[in-house]
Structure formats: C-alpha cells, structure tokens
Amino acid sequence: MSKRLVPLILALATAATADVAAQDVPTFTADVAPILYESCARCHQPDGIGPMSLLTYQDARRYAGRIAQKVETRQMPPWHLDKTVGIQAYKNDVSLSDRQIETILTWAAGGAPEGDPSALPPRPELPDGSEFALTAELGPPDFVVRSTPYTVAANAQDQWWTPTTTFEGIIDRPRYVRATELKGSFPDGLKVLHHGHVTLSMTDENGRRSSRPIGRQGVGKGGDLFPENTGMLIQPDGQLNWNLHYFPIDEVVEDEQAIAAVWLYPEDYVPEYETVGEQRFTADMGGDMPWAGDIVLPPHSVKVQQGTHVLDRPALISSFRPHMHMRGRAQSIEAIYPDGRREMLGRVDNYSHFWQIAYEFEEQAAPLLPRGTVLLITTTWDNTADNPINPDPRQWVVFGQRGVDEMSHVWMGMTYLTDEQFERLSAQRTRIAQAGGDD
Ligand code: HEC
C-alpha cells in the first residue's frame, strides 16, 4: 500500500466511526422532540396537568433522567395496560412503541444531546384547556350543566362535594345522547378535580325511575363518545346528582364549578342500540359480588380479591376503567362463556392511583358477550414497602372513601342487547373477519 494512502484510509475510518457514533445517539431535535410533541406535550406544557413543561430542549434535558425512568417503566405516557394478555386494540391507546422507548433511553444515556437546531419540528398545536376535548370532533355541545360552586382549600385531605341541581327546561322531550364530557373549570379546576360524576335521576312517561351518567371524569380520562348508532336515552326533567372528588393543590381554588357537556343525536333520530353508559361493577360491595367488608389488607401483604357478575342479557362492552386506591396494583376482567371457555378481556398491571383511565376498545374488538356470560373481576393490592406510593405498609387497610382506604371496582361502558341484536352483531363480526381473511 502506498504511503500516501494510509493517512487517507485512517482519516476515512475515523470519520466513519464518528458518523456511527453520532448516529447511535439520537438527538433531541431530530429524534426525541417528535415523540415528546406527539405523546407528552398536551399535558407537559405550561397550562397542562403535567408537573413540568417538556417543550424546549432545556426542559427536556433537565428532566432526561426522570423521563427515561418513567418511559422505561411504562408509567408515562399514562397507559397502564398489560400488553402481554387480553385485547390489545384500543381507540385511545397513547402508549409508546418499543422503538420510541429505546430512542429516549439511548438519548438520555448518551448525554441527552441537542442535535441540529434546524431539525426541530414545529411546536405542536396544544389543546385549549378551556374547551371540551370532544369539541374538535363533534363541534360545540348541545348543552352544558354546572355544579354549584365549591371552594377547594389549599392544603387539606381529599374533599368531596355532592350537591344536587335541577334538570329542567334544558330539553323539552326525551332525547338520545351521543356523547358526554365532564371537567373542572379552566385552568385551576382541571388540576383539583381528581374524579367525579354527575348522574341524571329521571322518571319516564310510564312513571319508571332510572338514572344515567351524563358525565364521568377522572385524571387522564377524556369524554365518552358512544359507538356509532348507539345512544343513551334521557328524559326532559329530573335531578342531577353530582359526586366530585377534589385533591388540594397547595393554593385555594375559589368557587370551583364542574361542567358537564352533552352532545345529542338529532331530534327524531332513534339509534339502533341503547347504552346505559359507564356502569359500575363492584368486587367490593353489594349485588352479586362480595361485600366491602371483604377488603382487609394486613400490613406488608399482597392480597387478591375476586368478584363475579352474571350477564342476564347479551351485552357489548365498549370500555373499562379500573378503580382502586393507593395500594391498587392490578385489575383484570375475564369472560367465562356459557360453554365454559375463559377469555381475558383486559388487564391493567401497572395501576396508579393518580390516574382514572378508561381503556376504550376498538369497535370490532369490543367484547360481544352472550347471555349467561360470567364477568370475573380480579383485583390485586400491594400493601408492602415495594409499592412506591404506599403511605404506610404497617397499616391495616379496609374499604373506605379516602385514598388511604381501599376500593375495588371497575367501570364498564355497557350496551345491553336483545337476542336478535346480538345475533346480528355476531354475524356481522364473522363477515368482517372472513372478508379480512380473504385479503
Ligand atoms: C395525560 C397527561 C400526560 C401525558 C400524555 C404525559 N404525562 Fe407525564 N405526567 C403527567 C402528570 C399529571 C404527572 C404527575 C403524576 C404522575 O407522576 O403520575 C406526570 C409525571 C411525569 C414525570 C415525573 C415528574 C416528576 O416530578 O418526577 C415524568 C418524567 C413525565 N411525566 C414524563 C412524561 C413523558 C416523557 C411523556 C410522554 C412520553 C408524558 N409524561 C406524558 C401527565 C401526563
């Protein structure tokens, strides 16, 4: 080899190595910002519910270690589903792909470099916190109702506010609801309302009493948009029962009013399927489940509780939303079919008390269950020191309202079907599955 070529080859080799190294460590502008803008910015921005903004390189760099830790353990973005079992097709899945997680971890481990500033994507369009999330899709709601004002103290334990208001003069005849959304008022109410619901107690023209949820809210939960051709029937007069659970945020929030928005189907439209909205299935009290008294968690223990509910009609489940408190770790719903077959529908294995996420099934994947199906709900609590938010593993824990007490139930979006509707939907699914198979 000629003497002149050696330095040239060396130089080329060094350049190549430098290139590989540069390619190995992702940069903020080219690789990480697109992920943060898409999956984190709506909450991690100055007006969002996240504790810090992650819009600029400086912010992201400062929190790089914690970002890596939260995405690696799949705590952020908040999506606490067990990805190894059950149905995996959800409309509102916000989780990161393995590859995106890898990118963030390699970036943080490689010193969190900025990269070429000109590669930075444009700032994402951030949601206006004063608007309802469903407005983007449905336009403004047909009506809104407000709770009576409540002042949330700066520093206190959890607070509950359960006023009633009248529901009169808002609609003038029975109507079908297409969607609902409940939220605290902008900006501080959004931060103090941990979860809440408002139900309409009403009497129909035959004197039958019933109640329907016209807004359910929990941290991380959006509005409820019913599947196509599905509506919830409400009557023109009745009473609204509010149940609002506030968490103080270190500053007084004066005269807070929760707001529920309702979108209706057109006046003469009768949807094919009638839903009852989100319904509570308890593993902890009443009905055909074990009673609340069954929750007894000894100090330093991991405990499991199961409850069952038999469907007396066929049903379509559009979503599920687990509910436990600080010791909650996992919750699953399984179906035991009349022929004995058992199927895991969904399981949350990374539960966080801070979040009330509704896992909304894709329409074709939503469980379609025959009459006689047994729903088996399994709750796991961790009252040991391994649970990072356990306030005190030395305590006995029983059922109760406070975050330091426990609960065990799951909200499910329920549409009960006639036998004829069930047969039709089952046949439709089979047709779609076969058509998909032919492709
Ligand atoms: C739906 C709103 C929301 C989204 C989306 C979201 N976060 Fe968060 N994040 C929060 C809230 C609220 C908290 C505080 C409560 C908690 O830790 O669960 C938090 C906490 C965190 C923390 C811990 C902060 C601390 O003080 O230790 C990190 C780090 C974080 N988020 C990063 C991210 C990243 C990275 C993404 C996107 C990949 C993301 N988050 C998506 C709302 C959100």
In order of start, what are the domains of the chain with their CATH numbers? 14-119 (no CATH), 129-271 (2.60.120), 273-439 (2.60.120.230)
Q: What percent of the chain has pLDDT over 90?
A: 70
221 Cα to the center of ligand 1, angstroms: 14
Question: Does residue 314's CB lie within 6 angstroms of at least one atom of ligand 1?
Answer: no
Q: Per-residue pLDDT for 11 more than 80? A: no
Mean pLDDT of the chain, nearest integer: 89
pLDDT band at 22 (very low <50, low <70, confident <90, very high): low
Closest residue to atom 16 of ligand 1, CA basis: 354
Contact 45, 129 (CB under 8 A): no
pLDDT tens, residue by residue, 268-289:
999 999 999 988 888 765 444 4
- Quote the pLDDT of residue 157: 83
60 Cα to the center of ligand 1, angstroms: 12
pLDDT band at 85 (very low <50, low <70, confident <90, very high): very high
- Quote the pLDDT of residue 1: 43
Question: Does residue 108's CB lie within 6 angstroms of at least one atom of ligand 1?
Answer: no
Closest residue to atom 1 of ligand 1, CA basis: 220
- From residue 345, alpha-carbon distances to 90, 103, 332 in Å are 12, 31, 8
pLDDT band at 6 (very low <50, low <70, confident <90, very high): very low
Contact 312, 371 (CB under 8 A): yes
- Quote the pLDDT of residue 435: 87
Which of 36, 37, 40 should be mutated for ligand 1, with most atoms under 8 A from CB?
A: 40
Q: Per-residue pLDDT for 18 more than 70? A: no
Helices 98-109 and 64-72 pack at an angle, to 10 degrees, of 150
Q: What percent of the chain has pLDDT over 70?
A: 92
**Token digits for 265?**
């189907």
Closest residue to atom 23 of ligand 1, CA basis: 66
pLDDT tens, residue by residue, 194-215:
889 999 999 988 889 999 999 9
Interior angle at CA 14, CA 18 and CA 118, nearest 5: 30
What's 292's DSSP letter?
G
Which of 35, 75, 76 should be mutated for ligand 1, with most atoms under 8 A from CB?
A: 76
Question: Does residue 73's CB lie within 6 angstroms of at least one atom of ligand 1?
Answer: no
Pick the atom of ligand 1 nearest to 52's CA: 24
Give Cβ neighbours of residue 131 (< 8 Å, ≥ 6 apart). Answer: none
- From residue 243, alpha-carbon distances to 159, 355, 391, 410 in Å are 11, 17, 25, 17
Handedness of CA 410, 411, 413, 418 (dihedral sign): positive
Q: Per-residue pLDDT for 182 more than 90? A: yes
- Quote the pLDDT of residue 218: 80
